Amino acid sequence: MADVRLRGVERRYEDAVALDGVDVTVADGEFFTLVGPSGCGKTTTLRTIAGLEEPTSGTVHVGGESMAGVPPEDRDVGIVFQNYALFPHMTVAENVAYGLRFRDPPEGKSEDERVRELLELVDMADYGDRMPEELSGGQQQRVALVRALAPGPRLLLLDEPMSALDARLRERLRRQVRTIQSELGVTTVYVTHDQEEALAVSDRVAVMNGGRVEQVGTPQEIYHRPETPFVAEFVGKNNRFEGEVIGREGDDALVEVDGTTFRVRAPEAAGRVAFYVRPEALSLGREGKNRTDGEGENRIAVTVETTEFLGDAARTYGSWNGREIVVKSEDVPAGERVVVAFGPEDATVV
């Protein structure tokens, strides 16, 4: 197994910059996710690690060795593409065995043993003689995964491997991928545009934007302590407030937003700032029947515009001074006026 280290990696094309100085370190055995909108450079980063793209400048090290000039076939990595890229002229078993033409199976196993073991791992033992076109999308995805794992690579690279599947299958497969990955302990770099998926499966996440890494951290850190406005807005739902620091009370800053003063936990904030409050951190107080005031010392009055019922929860959308406010709550009828409140510690200033 191996760790991965990218330092100052740039990839320039004639008329565009795909990577603009990427620094990333992936620890041995870690499940590491690159997430960002399309065109952010996450796939280019993955392809650079695999040796399918040469960086214009910067260095890539895998297991402490420089990868400069090392062709993809000598990097000892397994890759799974979005479209699976199974060889259409080979059976499932031949696909899985293909990498064993060039590297011996791990642990002194025979080629047949290795193929059977891997197909069993993904519940595809009976499908060895099928052709790829006879398989469903989910089955193809699983074959592509074990094909990549067959030679026992020190690095597994997954390029949006789930995005062509429907939501239910996606959830089941990503848990399966995660289980297999932890069992084998193979260092894994996962690329996705789906921030929810990134938070769900990763040990650590790198959020990318415009060819740069905005923030690296555990899913909890990324969600609760975004370091840039981009991360705060890209990951999960968020309510954004912008205003002027007009005073301090201990660790709290007093921020005036559109004539209303908010108290937020921000020991160093000054001048013009933006702060974010997550929908689930807002408490909603309804007038009239079982009237409650929202809890927390910052309060605003919001008119409900629409609600979304999500099954295990609901989201209420309203507006305050022309800003959209989203609150996680039970169903509230549209048009109702509610009080939305939060405490100073619920706000994140970036």
Partner 1 sequence: MRRALGSHDVEALAERAAIPALVALAAFLLFLVFYLPVATVFVEAARASALFGEVLTDEFYVGFLAHPGDALARFGGFLLALLTDPLNASFPDYRLGLFGFTAYQALLSAAASVALGVPMAYVLARFEFWGRDTVRSLTALPFVMPSIMVVVGFIAAFGEYGFVSGVFAWVGLNRLELVHTLKLVILAHAFYNAPLVARITAAAWEGIDARAVETARSLGANPYRAFRDVVVPQLLPSVLTGALLTFVFCFLSFAIVLELGGYEFATVEVWVYQSVNNFEYGLAATLAVIETVLSLGLMYAYLRYEAHQRASRAVHPPERAPLFGRPDAKRLAAWGVCLVAALVFVLPVFSMVYESLTVPVAGGDAFTLRNYAFLVDRQATGAAFQVKPLTAVKNSLLFGVGSLLLSVPIGVVLAVVSTREFAGRKVIDTLAMAPFAVSGIVVGLGLLRGLVFGTPVPAPTGIALGRATLPIVGSVPIPELLVTQVRVTVSGALAVVAAHAVGAYPFVTRNVAPMLATLDRSLVESARTLGASRARALVDVELPLVAAGVLAGAAFAFAISIGEFDSTVILTSGAGNYTMPVAIERFIGRRLGPATAMGCVLLVVTGASFVAIERLGGRFRG
Whether the Cβ atoms of residue 334 and residue 306 lie closer than 8 Å to each other: yes
Q: Of 150 and 222, which CB lies nearer to partner 1 in the complex structure?
A: 150
Nearer residue to partner 1 within complex by CB, 69 or 322: 69
Task: Enumerate binding residues for partner 1 (CB under 8 A).
Answer: 2, 50-52, 63, 65, 71-79, 81, 83, 85, 87-89, 98-99, 101-103, 144, 147-148, 150-151, 154, 157
To the nearest whole angstrom, how small is the minimum distance from the Cβ of residue 151 to partner 1? 6
Provide, rounded to whole angstroms, the least separation between the CB of residue 226 and partner 1.
33
Nearer to partner 1, 88 or 333 (CB): 88
Residue number, 81 or 317, with CB nearest to partner 1: 81
Q: Which tokens is 260 given?
A: 């209303």
Using DSSP bridges, classify how beta strands 31-35 and 187-192 pair: parallel, antiparallel or unpaired: parallel
Closest-CA residue to 35 (of 176, 204, 156): 204
To partner 1, the closest distance from the beta carbon of 106 in angstroms equals 12
Distance in Å, CB of 149 to partner 1, minimum:
11
By beta-carbon proximity to partner 1, the closer residue of 82 and 218 is 82
CB of 348 to partner 1, least distance (A): 39
For partner 1, the closer of residues 154 and 265 by Cβ is: 154
Nearer to partner 1, 71 or 250 (CB): 71
**What is the closest distance, in whole angstroms, from the C-beta atom of residue 82 to partner 1 in the complex?**
8
User: What is the nearest approach in angstroms of partner 1 to the Cβ of residue 66?
Assistant: 12
The minimum distance between CB 102 and partner 1, in angstroms, equals 3
Nearer to partner 1, 13 or 183 (CB): 13
**What is the SS3 assignment for the chain?**
CCCEEEEEEEEECCCCEEEEEEEEEECCCCEEEEECCCCCCHHHHHHHHHCCCCCCEEEEEECCEECCCCCHHHCCEEEECCCCCCCCCCCHHHHHHHHHHCCCCHHHCCHHHHHHHHHHHCCCHHHCCCCHHHCCHHHHHHHHHHHHHCCCCCEEEEECCCCCCCHHHHHHHHHHHHHHHHHHCCEEEEEECCHHHHHHHCCEEEEEECCEEEEEECHHHHHHCCCCHHHHHHCCCCEEEEEEEEEEECCEEEEEECCEEEEEECCCCCCEEEEEECHHHCEEEECCCCCCCCCCCEEEEEEEEEEEECCCCEEEEEEECCEEEEEEECCCCCCCEEEEEECHHHEEEC
